[in-house]
Structure 1
Amino acid sequence: MRKKQKLPFDKLAIALMSTSILLNAQSDIKANTVTEDTPATEQTVETPQPTAVSEEAPSSKETKTPQTPSDAGETVANDANDLAPQAPAKTADTPATSKATIRDLNDPSQVKTLQEKAGKGAGTVVAVIDAGFDKNHEAWRLTDKAKARYQSKEDLEKAKKEHGITYGEWVNDKVAYYHDYSKDGKTAVDQEHGTHVSGILSGNAPSETKEPYRLEGAMPEAQLLLMRVEIVNGLADYARNYAQAIRDAVNLGAKVINMSFGNAALAYANLPDETKKAFDYAKSKGVSIVTSAGNDSSFGGKTRLPLADHPDYGVVGTPAAADSTLTVASYSPDKQLTETATVKTADQQDKEMPVLSTNRFEPNKAYDYAYANRGTKEDDFKDVKGKIALIERGDIDFKDKIAKAKKAGAVGVLIYDNQDKGFPIELPNVDQMPAAFISRKDGLLLKDNPQKTITFNATPKVLPTASGTKLSRFSSWGLTADGNIKPDIAAPGQDILSSVANNKYAKLSGTSMSAPLVAGIMGLLQKQYETQYPDMTPSERLDLAKKVLMSSATALYDEDEKAYFSPRQQGAGAVDAKKASAATMYVTDKDNTSSKVHLNNVSDKFEVTVTVHNKSDKPQELYYQATVQTDKVDGKHFALAPKALYETSWQKITIPANSSKQATVPIDASRFSKDLLSQMKNGYFLEGFVRFKQDPKKEELMSIPYIGFRGDFSNLSALEKPIYDSKDGSSYYHEANSDAKDQLDGDGLQFYALKNNFTALTTESNPWTIIKAVKEGVENIEDIESSEITETIFAGTFAKQDDDSHYYIHRHANGKPYAAISPNGDGNRDYVQFQGTFLRNAKNLVAEVLDKEGNVVWTSEVTEQVVKNYNNDLASTLGSTRFEKTRWDGKDKDGKVVANGTYTYRVRYTPISSGAKEQHTDFDVIVDNTTPEVATSATFSTEDRRLTLASKPKTSQPVYRERIAYTYMDEDLPTTEYISPNEDGTFTLPEEAETMEGATVPLKMSDFTYVVEDMAGNITYTPVTKLLEGHSNKPEQDGSDQAPDKKPETKPEQDGSDQAPDKKPEAKPEQDGSGQTPDKKPETKPEKDSSGQTPGKTPQKGQPSRTLEKRSSKRALATKASTRDQLPMTNDKDTNRLHLLKLVMTTFFLGLVAHIFKTKRQKETKK
């Protein structure tokens, strides 16, 4: 008996991995789920649930541990407050309370100073638009109801009636209005996010709260308008819904609106007109809209750093991209309110260290601990029984470390970082095992400490962070897709303690946490200006508050790189409410449009001109200078870190009282251009801050960010080069790790798992069984049972012989890909369709086909907007988009199939940046409907079972595959296998087939069919019995030269081993499809194409090779599967996630069935 070919079970592992990613984000997969700025996702709520974090992929997602100050992100902290709690200062709005607030301990943005001047929001209304809320949280409280804007439900109803609002409910004195604008009639699945955001803005917990410190938002005495908006009927409808919420908020008297959600990389220009009008309406009424920048980091997301050749890597999307909004980035200050633990050092000093717990250790209890290395070996845990296991991060997942420690009898786990200045990471919950994360510095201290005892303290405390002051890794970079400067400002966004559902409190991380703090500061600053500038209109006060807040922000400095964090990452810098409240000066661009300077394209030498405004009654003398910097490059990639170039010298300026004056700084970066262009050939940013001081030796008074691009930013390439231009199969999202020329996979990943990461022309490969059914007029093709499935592939690519998990590009002699189609209606390479990895947003994408004279024979419909493929994380999106309107089925404008020949398939598109010119990408496509001519006779040798054809096939295109197919029943599923030719062109026919259960099925000659396919997808097939008609050595119909009930003698050499087929061989390395061990090269006489591959030759001399194609489930399979399911990322972004889930779950199911049968076979082998 011949050995069964090894099935591609590694596909199962990929399916399982993909399914795991998707199911971990199950709340995000639902169609039309709202985006809430979660790290590296596209339309996802910042889910405040504990997330298992893999070892080398720490989550920066907003996560929580209920009733404990712990989180999975990086850290948030105090900046200069005493560690001991202080009694809150009494303000005009509210009396002092007996329990200290969180802000009393931790106030890096100095909000308390502004509260003392402007109050805490009494008499003010603020709005939060979000995915869901707990309307009855204990933190929704007013200290003095008499000062509220709305004294009763009747007051609210009167305001609603005045503005024609017929919906919305009064909840209580604090929550004056609640309404669900989604109109889906469902209770919000996520009540955590909006509740947490609202607490930061306006929470006001009672003194009797069970927490050690009381939550108090930036405007704790303001009334809340809670407005639920979630995606139900697509992004456009979603935008219209939140536009209506904006209008209602303005009409009901809100002074500030917080919107902590967004769609990464979407352009403001693509928003519906009514949404843009809503932003304008709020601005005209002096209402501040504050948005979160997003948690998608940069182009490439979690997968890889952006390539240095493609500098447009910003992903700030909508609504944050709107000019009228104040967009907020996230950073971590240098101190944080945190859980702590204490150890006694070698010199008998008590050392406190911050810890981030998943399941808290018992407070005030002394625990013994033991060092367990990285926890990879059983021996690492030999001393941990009854103790805490101290484990270094690295090598294996956190979950495995904790599980191993628990199995060894440990009572808890402490994992310390393997890098200095890292952000804390929330550990996974493993069977409620107490676990905590600590810094590397503290971990090494514990490792070397002679006293192996640690105590966890009951009360959180403010301690320095290991990371220091840093921009959050997840915080989205600008520029926007439209090319505008965003974000505007930064605020603490990591480990922010606030309210969550059911009267609980938790720490979450994200730009969603940064925005409401700034919203509260804006609300208080505008309230201060009502008294300070009574003659201004509300819109003028709004404009002034935004400019002052940005001017007084502190530009954050990267101590590691000795440069300021990029303005494209931090905006104007860290918000400082105290400086803003006291400011009498601010700085804008030369046109007084905003407090940021966008220079667009610049040369090596340019000038930065700003306007300094003095609102005081005295002239002001200032000193100013500019920092000049760019992006740091690490190899081929941007490091997402700044690179300092130089600083200009200090200059002096005097601004008259109640006046303004311009200041100009000349910049000369010419001495850096040669080096920078060698690293960033398509251009680079020249950026920095113009900084002002009252004395060069004193602290900074104010600053303004500027950004210029040395190059032509508008006309940077919008599309990645096609995969056909790559010689090794590498693309933006896949770096090939294979030595095979033009092979589109490597490093253990099959082509089918990678094909969504390339720019190419797709087509469809139909199995012979389906093509046969089509040609024979079988109805209901979709219901055919088969072991083969339809596959979406790339035009010009072909499966390696006997291994369709590996595809390669076949090329002409001139190096161009052999992209050919045969539009004959059989479903096999009948069309081409464009798939692209877009590096930038574009508009008006259209495909057209030109004949050799340049005449347009066909044009597609227009796709109006294209979003850059900023991330190929399976939980959010893929590394390319397939454009359904670009499918060309080989017909002209009149619907007639074009003549055989070579055509140009052209894709045209224009970047959305202002002033961009149209770009295009061309592909050569061969159209050929010529059917292969094959031999009409053959001979068969009963001695060695060799079939010899009378002649070789004749084709107008190169032969792709020449095979013998045979089909048999494996239980209730027809299964097709293939035999490739021997080196001499003959075929060795098997006598029997082997089922997945290991049973044998006798084969008749009528089971065999000769099949020839050319590279355009034309197929000819002939039954072997027909080829043998008229020859004297025609065998009996059972396929042997013996009686049907008599078994033929076995041929030992037939199974590819050194033993007889009925004898169990010794255990050997698992074989690949050639019958040889994977590291042994098969002998060949290759008739190679330009790619170095041999499409139609057997991989082993004299040995037939068989391919079991795409083993499927034991039930009917819709083989004519939609290509939408094969490549789920389409330009219909509302349905992408459902398509992706459907594909991965289907792959998982099919793989699981195959895995079950493989396991059974392995057990049989061992018997």
Structure 2
Amino acid sequence: MRKKQKLPFDKLAIALMSTSILLNAQSDIKANTVTEDTPATEQTVETPQPTAVSEEAPSSKETKTPQTPSDAGETVADDANDLAPQAPAKTADTPATSKATIRDLNDPSQVKTLQEKAGKGAGTVVAVIDAGFDKNHEAWRLTDKAKARYQSKEDLEKAKKEHGITYGEWVNDKVAYYHDYSKDGKTAVDQEHGTHVSGILSGNAPSETKEPYRLEGAMPEAQLLLMRVEIVNGLADYARNYAQAIRDAINLGAKVINMSFGNAALAYANLPDETKKAFDYAKSKGVSIVTSAGNDSSFGGKTRLPLADHPDYGVVGTPAAADSTLTVASYSPDKQLTETATVKTADQQDKEMPVLSTNRFEPNKAYDYAYANRGTKEDDFKDVKGKIALIERGDIDFKDKIAKAKKAGAVGVLIYDNQDKGFPIELPNVDQMPAAFISRKDGLLLKDNPQKTITFNATPKVLPTASGTKLSRFSSWGLTADGNIKPDIAAPGQDILSSVANNKYAKLSGTSMSAPLVAGIMGLLQKQYETQYPDMTPSERLDLAKKVLMSSATALYDEDEKAYFSPRQQGAGAVDAKKASAATMYVTDKDNTSSKVHLNNVSDKFEVTVTVHNKSDKPQELYYQATVQTDKVDGKHFALAPKALYETSWQKITIPANSSKQVTVPIDASRFSKDLLAQMKNGYFLEGFVRFKQDPKKEELMSIPYIGFRGDFGNLSALEKPIYDSKDGSSYYHEANSDAKDQLDGDGLQFYALKNNFTALTTESNPWTIIKAVKEGVENIEDIESSEITETIFAGTFAKQDDDSHYYIHRHANGKPYAAISPNGDGNRDYVQFQGTFLRNAKNLVAEVLDKEGNVVWTSEVTEQVVKNYNNDLASTLGSTRFEKTRWDGKDKDGKVVANGTYTYRVRYTPISSGAKEQHTDFDVIVDNTTPEVATSATFSTEDRRLTLASKPKTSQPVYRERIAYTYMDEDLPTTEYISPNEDGTFTLPEEAETMEGATVPLKMSDFTYVVEDMAGNITYTPVTKLLEGHSNKPEQDGSDQAPDKKPEAKPEQDGSGQTPDKKTETKPEKDSSGQTPGKTPQKGQPSRTLEKRSSKRALATKASTRDQLPTTNDKDTNRLHLLKLVMTTFFLGLVAHIFKTKRQKETKK
């Protein structure tokens, strides 16, 4: 009996369940796309996400892709993820020892000074548009109700009636208006985010709070308009909903609107007209809209660094991309209000250290602790029973570390960073186990400290941060997809304490936390200007406040790199309310448009011209200089760090009273161009700050960022080159098989959404059992069961004859892929469809097919918007996009199948950046509908069971696979296996088959079928019984407008092998790039089981389908085929469950 390898059904069942989960997740993401009433994108678009970041550890996975900077504390191989959801930190029920505000202890943006001058927002209305709120939080309180804009519910109703607003409720004196604009009638699932954001802007906690310090927002006495907006019916509807909220907020008297959410990488052009008009309306009324920059870092997310060849790696999206908004980045200041712990050092000194805890330790209790290395081995925890386990970060994820410590009897866990100057990380909640994160410096101190005792303090304190002043790793980079400068400014967004649901308080991180602080400062500054500049219109005061706030911001300096953080990361710098309030001068571009300078394309030598404005009654003498810098490159990737080039010398200028004066700074970076172009061949940014001081030895007074691009930014490539052209078989998101670089597996049974991401053409592989059923007109096709399944594969790839589980690129002699189709309606390589990894946003994507004379024979519909594949993550976007509209089924403009031959499949698109020209990518595609001619007779030897065919097959294209198939019943499922030819071309037929459970099934001659397939997907099959009788069973062609027995008249060009594709020859298969012949088996005459047993049921078909939507056609057989495809996969789910259950029952009986 033949020895057979059984399929691992346990793993298969898990894979199927995982597939279902991933497909469901992906389906939810796809639902959040632009609706048909706006230009649609076929990009898998990110769901609008609140831009708060919590830092929980995901599963640890090793990766060979370039990782993010080590000092960010967020590596894929480790255990941090600053975007993972988290529960709010628990609040210790400690008695109030002080009712000082949080800002009294730590005020890095110096808001208190502005509050002293402009008040705390009394009489002002502010709006927060967000995903959900706890509208009854204790922090929603006014100190003096008599100063409120709306004194009663009746006052609000009067204002609503005046503006035709028929919805929205009065909650209390603080929350004057609440309404859910999502129109889904559901209670907000997330009440944490909007509550936290609102607390930063306008919280005003009572003295009775149990917290040791009282929350007070930037405008604690302002009334709140809470406006819930959540995605329900797609991005366009979502944008219209928040546009309506903007208009209502303005009409109800809001002076500032905070919007801490966004869609990464979407361009301003993507927004509906209603939303753009809402932004314009706000600007005209002098209402400030403040948005968060986003937490998506840069192209590649937090798992990959962007390639140095592709400098358009910004991901700031909408609504932040709107020029009229003030967009805020996140940074960590050098000091932070934090929980603390105390240890006694070797010299008997008390050492306090900041901790970030989950499930806090009992305060004021001395705990013993024991060092447990990285917690990877059982022996690491030998000393932790009854103690706290001190564990170094790394190797395994946080959850495993905590769980192992708990199992070993530890009472808590302290995890210290494995990187210097990292950000604190919120640890996961594992069975309510007390856990805390500390810095590497403090962790090493504990490890080496002779006294292994630590005490956690009840009251938070302000301590230096381990990271120092640093831009948050998650904070999204600009430029925007439109090519504009964003973000505008930066504010603290790391571990910000504010209100969350149910009268609680917690720390969250994200640009969501940065934006409301700036919103409050803008509101106060505009309030100050009402008195200071009474003759200005509200719109003029808004414009001035924005320019002053950006000018007075302090450019943040990277101490590690000895350069300023890029303006594309920090904008104008860290907001400083004190400097803004006191400012009598500000600086803008030469046209007085904004306080940032966009130079677009520059050469090695250029000039930066700015305008200095003096609003005081005295002339002002200033000194100025410019910093010149670019991106730091690490190998082939941007390091996401600055590289200083040089600084200009200080110059002096005098600006007359109540006047302005232009300053021009010449820049010459020519001496750096050779080295920089060697590192960044497609161009690089030349950027920096023009800085102003009253004395070169004093602190910076004001500055303005400038950005130029040395190269042609508009015409940078929008699309990653096809995978077929990759020298090592890899792409940005695809890691090649080191043993077979041309291996490109299809989607198959498992869902390859996170794997098959590169630029290529897709097609479809259909097994002969399904083709046979369709061709023969089988009724009730949905009831047909088979062990084979249709799968999406990549054009030009082929499996080995004895192994359907892997596909490899097969190439012409010129190196191009052998992309061939046979559009005959059988579902096997009938079409090609474009899949692309876009490095930039593009517009007007269209596919067209040209014949050898260059005539366009077919053109697809237009995809108007394409969003860059900035990440490869199911929660945001995939690393490539499949464009359904580009599917070409081999027909011309009139719907007729084109003549056999070689065609150019061209994809055209245009980057959306200003001045960009159209770009295109070409693929050669062979079309051939010629059915293989096979032997009409054969002989069979009963002695050695060898089947000998009378002749070799004749095909127009090279033979892909020549096999004998046999089908038998296994667990009530028709199962197909294949026999490859022996070296002499004969086939050895088995007498019996073996089921998965090891049972034998006798085989009859009628169970065998001779199947030949060429490399264009043309298939011929003949029952072996017919061959032995000397008869042929050659199916007619289907789906073609040509007569089945008529040869094509048109003669195609010769392919790379020198053969004419439509000329029938006795063809030997070509060798693929691995040196083996597709379809040639190294094991003579041995049967091979198909990839997996697979089938489906109609009920689950939608969820179990791959990323591709099925094409629509009027062809009867093709419709039947698609129906069969839908039912095949999910039926197999039931089969696996049945076998898995049977196996478990047998094991139980044992």
| TM-score exceeds 0.5 | yes
Are residues 689 and 698 of structure 1, via their aligned partners in 2, closer, same or farther at CA, if it must alter by over 3 Å? same
Give 1:1151 shift.
11
| Contact residue 19 and residue 1144 of structure 1 kept, 8 A | no
Counterpart mapping for 1:359-508 below 5 A: 359-508=359-508
Q: Distance in 2 between matches of 1:182 and 1:519?
A: 23
Which residue in 2 is equivalent to 1:1070? 1053
Q: Distance in 2 between matches of 1:1057 and 1:851?
A: 18
Q: Distance in 2 between matches of 1:340 and 1:362?
A: 12
Which residue in 1 is equivalent to 2:1107? 1124
Give 1:986 shift.
2.2
Are residues 763 and 521 of structure 1, via their aligned partners in 2, closer, same or farther at CA, if it must alter by over 3 Å? same
Give 1:944 shift.
2.8
Are residues 21 and 258 of structure 1, via their aligned partners in 2, closer, same or farther at CA, if it must alter by over 3 Å? farther
Q: Secondary structure at the match of 2:952?
A: coil
| Contact residue 425 and residue 437 of structure 1 kept, 8 A | yes
Which residue in 2 is equivalent to 1:887? 887
Give 1:226 shift.
0.8
Q: Distance in 2 between matches of 1:464 and 1:483?
A: 37
1132-1141 vs 946-955, which moves further: 1132-1141
Are residues 818 and 1148 of structure 1, via their aligned partners in 2, closer, same or farther at CA, if it must alter by over 3 Å? same
| Contact residue 53 and residue 83 of structure 2 kept, 8 A | no
1:120-178 Cα offsets, whole Å, 9 max, x none, are: 00000000111111111111100000000000111111111111111111111101111
Are residues 244 and 1057 of structure 1, via their aligned partners in 2, closer, same or farther at CA, if it must alter by over 3 Å? closer
| Contact residue 748 and residue 792 of structure 2 kept, 8 A | no
| Contact residue 69 and residue 460 of structure 1 kept, 8 A | no
| Contact residue 73 and residue 419 of structure 2 kept, 8 A | no
Q: Secondary structure at the match of 2:1036?
A: helix
Give 1:985 shift.
2.1
Are residues 1133 and 543 of structure 1, via their aligned partners in 2, closer, same or farther at CA, if it must alter by over 3 Å? farther
199-208 vs 38-47, which moves further: 38-47
Q: Distance in 2 between matches of 1:1125 and 1:587?
A: 52
| Contact residue 178 and residue 227 of structure 2 kept, 8 A | yes
| Contact residue 261 and residue 294 of structure 2 kept, 8 A | yes
Are residues 1094 and 25 of structure 1, via their aligned partners in 2, closer, same or farther at CA, if it must alter by over 3 Å? closer
Counterpart mapping for 1:836-855 below 5 A: 836-855=836-855
Q: How high is the sequence identity, in percent, across the aligned residues?
A: 99
Q: Distance in 2 between matches of 1:1133 and 1:641?
A: 59
Counterpart mapping for 1:36-51 below 5 A: none
Q: Distance in 1 between matches of 2:772 and 2:1001?
A: 23
1:816-842 Cα offsets, whole Å, 9 max, x none, are: 111111110001111111111111111
Q: Distance in 1 between matches of 2:270 and 2:1040?
A: 64
Q: Distance in 1 between matches of 2:82 and 2:755?
A: 56
1:188-246 Cα offsets, whole Å, 9 max, x none, are: 11111111111110011100011111111100000001111111111111111111111
Which residue in 2 is equivalent to 1:1048? none
1070-1079 vs 1024-1033, which moves further: 1070-1079
Are residues 52 and 414 of structure 1, via their aligned partners in 2, closer, same or farther at CA, if it must alter by over 3 Å? farther
Give 1:990 shift.
2.1
Are residues 665 and 996 of structure 1, via their aligned partners in 2, closer, same or farther at CA, if it must alter by over 3 Å? same
Q: Distance in 2 between matches of 1:195 and 1:221?
A: 16
Are residues 79 and 920 of structure 1, via their aligned partners in 2, closer, same or farther at CA, if it must alter by over 3 Å? closer
1:705-727 Cα offsets, whole Å, 9 max, x none, are: 00000000000111111111124
Q: Distance in 2 between matches of 1:698 and 1:469?
A: 20
1:57-84 Cα offsets, whole Å, 9 max, x none, are: 6799999999999999999999999999
Give 1:1090 shift.
4.5
Which residue in 1 is equivalent to 2:534? 534
1:1019-1053 Cα offsets, whole Å, 9 max, x none, are: 000111111226999xxxxxxxxxxxxxxxxx999
Give 1:794 shift.
1.3
Give 1:994 shift.
2.2
| Contact residue 823 and residue 829 of structure 1 kept, 8 A | yes
| Contact residue 877 and residue 1129 of structure 1 kept, 8 A | no
Q: Does 1:1089 align with 2:1072?
A: yes
Structure 1: gaps of 5 or more residues: 1034-1050
Q: Secondary structure at the match of 1:586?
A: strand
Q: Distance in 2 between matches of 1:928 and 1:1069?
A: 9
Q: Secondary structure at the match of 2:22?
A: helix
Q: Secondary structure at the match of 1:674?
A: helix
Give 1:896 shift.
0.8
Are residues 954 and 391 of structure 1, via their aligned partners in 2, closer, same or farther at CA, if it must alter by over 3 Å? same
Q: Distance in 2 between matches of 1:353 and 1:438?
A: 8
| Contact residue 549 and residue 576 of structure 2 kept, 8 A | yes
Give 1:969 shift.
1.6
| Contact residue 264 and residue 318 of structure 2 kept, 8 A | yes
Are residues 667 and 1063 of structure 1, via their aligned partners in 2, closer, same or farther at CA, if it must alter by over 3 Å? closer
Q: Distance in 1 between matches of 2:1038 and 2:445?
A: 61
Q: Distance in 2 between matches of 1:642 and 1:242?
A: 36
Are residues 136 and 839 of structure 1, via their aligned partners in 2, closer, same or farther at CA, if it must alter by over 3 Å? same
| Contact residue 130 and residue 228 of structure 1 kept, 8 A | yes
Give 1:1137 shift.
27
| Contact residue 74 and residue 332 of structure 1 kept, 8 A | no
| Contact residue 626 and residue 647 of structure 1 kept, 8 A | yes
47-56 vs 827-836, which moves further: 47-56
Are residues 147 and 453 of structure 1, via their aligned partners in 2, closer, same or farther at CA, if it must alter by over 3 Å? same
Are residues 177 and 747 of structure 1, via their aligned partners in 2, closer, same or farther at CA, if it must alter by over 3 Å? closer
Are residues 257 and 14 of structure 1, via their aligned partners in 2, closer, same or farther at CA, if it must alter by over 3 Å? farther
Are residues 70 and 675 of structure 1, via their aligned partners in 2, closer, same or farther at CA, if it must alter by over 3 Å? closer
Give 1:3 shift.
2.8
Are residues 866 and 819 of structure 1, via their aligned partners in 2, closer, same or farther at CA, if it must alter by over 3 Å? same
Q: Secondary structure at the match of 2:661?
A: strand
1135-1144 vs 264-273, which moves further: 1135-1144
Q: Secondary structure at the match of 2:403?
A: helix
1:1002-1034 Cα offsets, whole Å, 9 max, x none, are: 22121111111111110000111111226999x
Q: Distance in 2 between matches of 1:495 and 1:724?
A: 46
Give 1:514 shift.
0.6
Are residues 801 and 814 of structure 1, via their aligned partners in 2, closer, same or farther at CA, if it must alter by over 3 Å? same
Give 1:572 shift.
0.4
1:244-295 Cα offsets, whole Å, 9 max, x none, are: 1111111110000001111111110121111111100100000000000011
Are residues 783 and 470 of structure 1, via their aligned partners in 2, closer, same or farther at CA, if it must alter by over 3 Å? farther
204-213 vs 732-741, which moves further: 732-741
| Contact residue 118 and residue 525 of structure 2 kept, 8 A | yes
Q: Distance in 2 between matches of 1:613 and 1:167?
A: 45
Q: Secondary structure at the match of 1:568?
A: helix
Q: Secondary structure at the match of 1:282?
A: helix
| Contact residue 290 and residue 519 of structure 2 kept, 8 A | yes
Are residues 34 and 86 of structure 1, via their aligned partners in 2, closer, same or farther at CA, if it must alter by over 3 Å? closer
Q: Distance in 1 between matches of 2:1040 and 2:834?
A: 46
| Contact residue 983 and residue 1098 of structure 1 kept, 8 A | no
Are residues 572 and 58 of structure 1, via their aligned partners in 2, closer, same or farther at CA, if it must alter by over 3 Å? farther
Give 1:1113 shift.
6.4
Q: Distance in 1 between matches of 2:828 and 2:23?
A: 34
Q: Distance in 1 between matches of 2:1109 and 2:794?
A: 12
Are residues 96 and 353 of structure 1, via their aligned partners in 2, closer, same or farther at CA, if it must alter by over 3 Å? closer
Give 1:1091 shift.
4.8
Give 1:740 shift.
1.9
Q: Secondary structure at the match of 1:548?
A: helix
Q: How many residue pairs are counted as aligned between the two chains?
A: 1150
Q: Distance in 2 between matches of 1:769 and 1:387?
A: 64
Which residue in 1 is equivalent to 2:865? 865
| Contact residue 56 and residue 425 of structure 2 kept, 8 A | no
Are residues 28 and 146 of structure 1, via their aligned partners in 2, closer, same or farther at CA, if it must alter by over 3 Å? farther
Are residues 26 and 1107 of structure 1, via their aligned partners in 2, closer, same or farther at CA, if it must alter by over 3 Å? closer
Are residues 991 and 1164 of structure 1, via their aligned partners in 2, closer, same or farther at CA, if it must alter by over 3 Å? farther
Counterpart mapping for 1:262-411 below 5 A: 262-411=262-411
434-443 vs 79-88, which moves further: 79-88
Are residues 343 and 779 of structure 1, via their aligned partners in 2, closer, same or farther at CA, if it must alter by over 3 Å? same
1:793-850 Cα offsets, whole Å, 9 max, x none, are: 1111112333333221111111111111111000111111111111111111111111
Q: Distance in 2 between matches of 1:1066 and 1:4?
A: 48
| Contact residue 67 and residue 505 of structure 1 kept, 8 A | no
| Contact residue 1057 and residue 1065 of structure 1 kept, 8 A | no
Q: Secondary structure at the match of 1:277?
A: helix
Q: Secondary structure at the match of 1:1117?
A: helix
Q: Secondary structure at the match of 1:923?
A: strand
Q: Distance in 2 between matches of 1:1165 and 1:1064?
A: 63
Which residue in 2 is equivalent to 1:59? 59
1:326-355 Cα offsets, whole Å, 9 max, x none, are: 000111111111111111110011111111
Which residue in 1 is equivalent to 2:520? 520
Structure 2: gaps of 5 or more residues: none
| Contact residue 68 and residue 505 of structure 1 kept, 8 A | no
